[in-house]
Amino acid sequence: MDLSVNQSNTPTPSKEYPVEIVENISLTSSEIANLWASWMESSIKERMVQYFLKTVVDPEIKKVLEYTLSIARKHLQRITEIYIREKHPIPRGFTAEDVNLEAPRLFSDSFIISFLADMARSRLDGYSTALQMSVRSDVRQYFTECVADPAEIYNRSVSVMLSKGIFTRWPQIRVPEKLNFAAKQNFLSSRISKQKPLNSIHVTHIFFNLQRNHLRKALFTGFGQVAKEEQVRQYMQKGKEIAGKHIEIFSTLLLNNNLPVSMAWESGVTDSKIAPFSDLLMLQEVRSMNVILAANYAKAISISGDKQDLAGDFARLMAEILKHTGEGLNLLVNNGWYEEPPQAEEPGAPVNTVH
């Protein structure tokens, strides 16, 4: 199958911003960190999308995949240009050795497009944060474009999903007829009550994390089937069990408030036992998803101060995710697979005070 990028899907460059002379302006720690993270994310998605393009059947989903591949390659090229100017070593990332393009289909088209939409949502959040941490003009311009790119992938993915009837919308609640203000005594006493109903903000975060855990459970299922190392298979099985537990908790919260739940995705996994990806790539993808999920749970905790039992649920579940993330990191390190991000100076080294 020809994996060349369809030119009609190739992103057009954004308008140029006035660029300062950057030769004598060093990258800051945040710029180095976020460029490295963007490189690693684009590298892993390039390999995954290459494989998805080999197995996808639906022509509309294929177009979104082609566009996504072009975005990943554009990002890698832009960062490489900055790295060359800065004499920064090019990360290894993920190579052709980390993907088996001859492997049979592991995920359905419906799962693939849902995975793309979820990936785009997480990158929107990450890139907007990276932009806020950037100062040098070329880095700001890069991350400004990066914010627009996953937004376009998300919009294309959702449009395809809606046209095929596979996008699960957030639950609907009645539109309020009037403004409500909390009565102090009732509000304070109800904060610790499990009987306090969910509000629209609670529902938003619960449903969002329910959706993400359904995708994670399917991904763990597929990865667990094909992983080569027994320890990696066990790790994926544990991740699947954790995702299943979180799905049950979130679903119960919604159902107890007479609200619908999100659709499951395990049917989107085939019975193939041939790995399309290396154990390294699968562990790193799961680690990235775990980190993003933990951040989402932290956001949910921050908005649940008016319902402390819900905040407690998210805090407990976040601790489970962080523990699982640490176990995955140990596997990467023990196998010599963990590529470290750029490090700060060793203790005792001269401190650069010039900004």
pLDDT of residue 210: 96
Residues 6+ apart with CB under 8 A from 163: 60
Average pLDDT, the chain: 89
Does the CA dihedral 16-18-21-26 come out positive or negative?
negative
pLDDT of residue 196: 78
C-alpha to C-alpha distance for 167 and 161, rounded to whole angstroms: 5
More confident of the two residues 263 and 329: 329
- pTM comes to 0.87
Residues 6+ apart with CB under 8 A from 49: 65, 68, 69, 72
C-alpha to C-alpha distance for 342 and 133, rounded to whole angstroms: 16
pLDDT digits (tens, 9 = 90+) for 167-179: 988 888 888 888 8
Q: Where are the alpha helices (DSSP H) in the chain?
A: 29-55, 59-86, 109-132, 137-164, 184-190, 200-226, 230-255, 279-302, 308-334
C-alpha to C-alpha distance for 180 and 311, rounded to whole angstroms: 22
**Domains of the chain and any CATH numbers:** 28-164 (1.20.1260.10), 194-334 (1.20.1260.10)
pLDDT digits (tens, 9 = 90+) for 60-85: 999 999 999 999 999 999 999 999 99
Tokens 């914010």 belong to residue = 147
202 has a pLDDT exceeding 50? yes
Contact 59, 9 (CB under 8 A): no
Question: DSSP labels for 176-218?
Answer: PSS-----HHHHHHHTT-TTSPP-HHHHHHHHHHHHHHHHHHH
**pLDDT band for position 222 (cuts 50, 70, 90):** very high
233 has a pLDDT exceeding 50? yes
Q: For 241, list phi and psi in degrees, rounded to 5.
A: -65, -40
Which residue from 169, 306, 288, 192 is spatially nearest to 239, judged by alpha carbons?
288
Tokens of 32: 């180095």
pLDDT digits (tens, 9 = 90+) for 284-302: 999 999 999 999 999 999 9
Give the burial class of 266: count Cβ atoms within 10 A of its Cβ; 0-12 exposed, 13-18 middle, 19 or more buried: middle
3 has a pLDDT exceeding 80? no
Q: One-letter amino acid identity for 242? A: I
